């Protein structure tokens, strides 16, 4: 190290002597720059990564050599792959299905562009999704049983804990992943048997690591081989021999003989990584008892789950849905986009009817279109359909909620849809189960649609190209119609909750206690909203002074309430169009810890019920409602410049 510093200093001194040609100076300084860069690489702080080398491991540069190496075991698109996937359905160990003493060659690639897995020169997976990829391979047949992607090491622990002992695990990385230094991260590294990471807390929380990492191990037994390289722009290739084991013994002989056990064993031979489904001691339930809801006033109402190639999400969604005792399983249907094997195996395991359609588009709009078309075709007498996306946990009273609200849709022709999900439902907002709010945005995720709406409008007008589904449905709905959604959400979107900041804690109903829907409040909704505005307290001056002042004033006003009626706080803003209204609402959402999306808008007004007060935001002249006498002047975007990104100020959520 000292010698490098001496050489650099001498080169610089000699090159800068008077009389040296300019070209010579440039050449010498370039050489010095290369030495400096090499010195800086050696001085980089240790991120807890250590270099592991094995005889079977090689490192190659990204480029033509990588692509050529992968083409030897299967087709790969230029640029690192587009996620092509092929499952080995036959036994690699021979035509008789017995592994004997056969060994297979497991080859894995890891780097900044793609990851790939091959067994005996057969390419199984080629993907470019950033994060940690874990592949689960059957230790007897060498067939791929599962593939999941995680963003950090601590997220691996539940999977590593529940996976069947002895399964072959291959872990690779693409680009970056996070290290949190948590106890779950340390447990995951111990379960993997990794010696490439020091099981210590990183210097910074949620530190991103850029490294190429390949690890091959037997689940809950030990590591087979591992390689870790910290350099950027390099691709790792790790190849090792793995001896297959005999599969003469049945899976979990302690399971009692039954139809459930037969289905479970069939599933566990082909798939892995779904909670405790394949656990020998306490396997997860796959049969559920139900008492179907009395849909006598509505006829047949199918509930269709929309899913693509997200098997872990689908299993969690279906398990949550089937735990609802009032669910009618005979009218529950799963629409699978794409001919993927794992989603089909999950439906067979849970004994649910499903259809598989060719994946012509990966858009959400295409998924909803296929779901509505299949549902009304399979249930020709149904007047409504309930569509549930495949990344949603259901409330225990989800079916009861639709059972009580569908009569409103039957009687009100202006009611376009009924949604069970509210993206403004948090722990600090209203927990009243029977409160319904109107919106002119279609609340997707869990929504009920009429057959007549599908046949006369949506099916005929559906665009062929890619569309923003929520915006397009809003245009079809028009200004005269609206949707209903509960103040307390009946659905929890767990895939989105992972990306919310800490102060936003989504809430949804977790009990099945009875509740009542105030139908009179629905029929007189506009007049009741005008009554709330007339009795409201002007809040413009507090909000204009800043976010902290607004939250403190709201809390103070709510604490002075003596009766059970919640006080209404009114903010009126000047907004000539939806774009300006969205900008203003972003400031309001930051102050009161709400979602920044303007999904609460109904006739130019947003109503958010907190636990101790009601917040009303009127955008004029979009809102047709009149202000109470003596109201404060309307605010503008310029009045709340403190809410811009440069002057953002956070405060605790009002309650």
The confidence band for 16, taking pLDDT boundaries of 50, 70 and 90, is: low
Report pLDDT digits (tens) over 452-471. Answer: 999 999 998 998 878 889 88
Across residues 145-174, what is the average pLDDT? Answer: 86
Q: Which of 57-61, 77-81, 601-605 has the highest mean pLDDT?
A: 601-605
Burial of 566 (0-12, 13-18, 19+ CB in 10 A): middle
Q: Do 429 and 609 contact (CB within 8 A), yes or no?
A: yes
Top pLDDT among 67 and 560 is at: 560
b/e map of 44-78 (b: 16 or more CB within 10 Å)?
A: eeebbbeebeeebbeeeeeeeebbebbeebbebee
The rounded percent of the chain whose pLDDT value lies above 90 is: 35
C-alpha distances out from residue 213 to 41, 147, 231, 631, Å:
19, 16, 11, 63
If we measure between CA atoms, which residue out of 293, 243, 298 comes closest to residue 105?
243
Per-residue pLDDT, 204: 59
13 confidence band (pLDDT: 50, 70, 90): low
At 3 the pLDDT is: 52
Q: Which of 261-265, 303-307, 488-492, 554-558 has the least mean pLDDT?
A: 554-558
Contacts of 34-42 with C-beta under 8 Å, sequence gap 24+, read 35/4, 35/7, 35/8, 35/11, 36/8, 38/4, 39/1, 39/4, 39/5, 39/8, 42/1
Q: What phi, psi does 491 have (nearest 5°)?
A: -140, 145
Q: Is 115 exposed, middle or buried (0-12, 13-18, 19+ CB in 10 A)?
A: buried
Higher pLDDT, residue 292 or 58: 292
Residue 556 confidence (pLDDT): 86
Q: Looking at residue 155, what is its pLDDT? A: 81
Q: What CATH number has the domain spanning 303-522?
A: 3.90.550.10
- Average the pLDDT over 118-139 and give the result: 87
Of residues 304 and 192, the one with the higher pLDDT is: 304
**Domain map (residue ranges) of the chain:** 2-43, 57-243, 251-285, 303-522, 524-643
Residue 447 has pLDDT above 90, yes or no: yes
From the CB of residue 361, how many other CB atoms can be counted at a distance below 10 Å? Answer: 14
pTM: 0.78
pLDDT at 62: 30
> Strands across the sheet with 144-150, in order?
144-150, 131-137, 168-174, 212-218, 222-229
Asked if residue 94 has pLDDT above 90, the reply is no
Residue 284 sits at φ, ψ, to 5 deg, of -70, 150
Per-residue pLDDT, averaged over 373-379, amounts to 94
* pLDDT at position 642: 61
Query: Mind listing the pLDDT tens digit for each residue in 607-630?
Result: 999 988 999 999 999 999 999 988
Report the range of poorest mean pLDDT among 55-64, 533-542, 575-584.
Answer: 55-64
| Phi, psi (deg, nearest 5) at residue 262 | -60, -45
What's the mean per-residue pLDDT of the chain?
79
Task: Tally the residues of the chain.
Answer: 655
What digits encode the pLDDT tens for the residues 509-519? 666 666 778 77
């Amino acid at each position: 190290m000292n010698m490098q510093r001496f050489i650099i200093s001498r080169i610089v001194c000699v090159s800068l002597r008077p009389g040296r040609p300019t070209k010579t100076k440039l050449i010498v300084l370039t050489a010095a720059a290369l030495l400096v860069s090499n010195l800086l690489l050696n001085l980089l702080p240790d991120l807890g990564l250590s270099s592991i080398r094995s005889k079977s491991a090689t490192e190659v540069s990204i480029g033509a050599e990588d692509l050529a190496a992968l083409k030897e075991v299967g087709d790969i698109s230029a640029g690192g792959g587009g996620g092509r996937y092929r499952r080995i359905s036959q036994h690699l160990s021979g035509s008789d299905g017995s592994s004997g003493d056969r060994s297979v060659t497991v080859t894995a690639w890891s780097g900044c562009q793609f990851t790939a897995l091959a067994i005996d020169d057969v390419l199984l997976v080629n993907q470019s999704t950033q994060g940690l990829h874990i592949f689960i391979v059957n230790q007897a047949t060498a067939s791929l049983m599962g593939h999941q992607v995680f963003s950090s090491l601590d997220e691996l622990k539940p999977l590593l804990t529940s996976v069947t002992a002895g399964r072959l695990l291959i872990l690779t990385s693409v680009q970056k992943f996070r290290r949190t230094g948590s106890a779950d991260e340390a447990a995951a590294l111990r379960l993997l048997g990794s010696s490439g990471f020091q099981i210590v807390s990183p210097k910074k929380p949620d530190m991103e690591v850029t490294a190429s990492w390949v690890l091959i191990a037997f689940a809950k037994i030990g590591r087979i081989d591992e390689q870790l390289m910290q350099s950027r722009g390099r691709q790792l290739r790790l190849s090792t021999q793995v001896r297959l084991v005999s599969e003469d013994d049945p899976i979990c002989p302690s399971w009692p003989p039954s139809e459930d056990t037969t289905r479970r064993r069939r599933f566990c031979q082909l798939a892995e990584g779904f909670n405790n489904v394949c656990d020998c001691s306490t396997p997860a339930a796959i049969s559920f008892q139900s008492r179907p809801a009395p849909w006598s006033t509505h006829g047949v109402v199918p509930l269709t789950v929309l899913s693509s190639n997200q098997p872990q999400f689908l299993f969690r969604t279906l398990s949550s849905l089937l735990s609802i005792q009032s669910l009618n399983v005979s009218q529950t249907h799963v629409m699978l986009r794409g001919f993927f094997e794992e989603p089909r195996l999950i439906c067979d395991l849970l004994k649910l009817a499903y259809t598989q359609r060719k994946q012509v588009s990966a858009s959400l709009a295409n998924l909803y279109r296929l779901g509505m078309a299949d549902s009304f075709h399979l249930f020709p007498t149904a007047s409504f359909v309930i569509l549930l996306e495949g990344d949603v946990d259901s409330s225990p009273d989800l079916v009861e909620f639709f059972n009580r609200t569908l009569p409103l849709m039957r009687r009100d022709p202006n009611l376009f849809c009924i949604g069970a999900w509210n993206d403004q439902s948090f722990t600090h907002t209203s927990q009243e189960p029977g409160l319904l709010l109107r919106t002119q945005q279609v609340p997707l995720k869990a929504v009920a649609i009429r057959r007549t709406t599908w046949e006369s409008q949506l099916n005929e007008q559906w665009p062929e190209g890619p569309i923003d589904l929520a915006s397009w449905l809003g245009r079809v709905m028009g200004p005269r119609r609206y949707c209903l959604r509960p103040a307390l959400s009946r659905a929890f979107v767990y895939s989105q909750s992972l990306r919310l900041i800490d102060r936003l804690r989504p809430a949804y109903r977790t009990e099945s206690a009875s509740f009542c829907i105030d139908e009179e409040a629905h029929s007189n909704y506009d007049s009741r909203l005008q009554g709330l505005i007339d009795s409201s307290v002007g809040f413009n001056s507090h909000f204009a002074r800043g976010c902290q002042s607004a939250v403190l004033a709201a809390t103070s006003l709510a604490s002075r309430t003596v009766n059970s009626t919640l006080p209404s706080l009114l903010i009126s803003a000047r907004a000539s169009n939806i774009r300006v209204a969205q900008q203003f609402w972003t400031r309001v959402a930051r102050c009161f810890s709400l979602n920044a999306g303007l999904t609460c808008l109904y006739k130019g007004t947003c109503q958010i019920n907190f636990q101790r007060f009601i917040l009303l935001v009127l955008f004029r002249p979009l809102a047709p409602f009149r202000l109470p006498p003596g109201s404060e002047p309307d605010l503008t975007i310029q009045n709340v410049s403190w809410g811009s990104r440069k002057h953002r100020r956070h405060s605790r959520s009002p309650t």
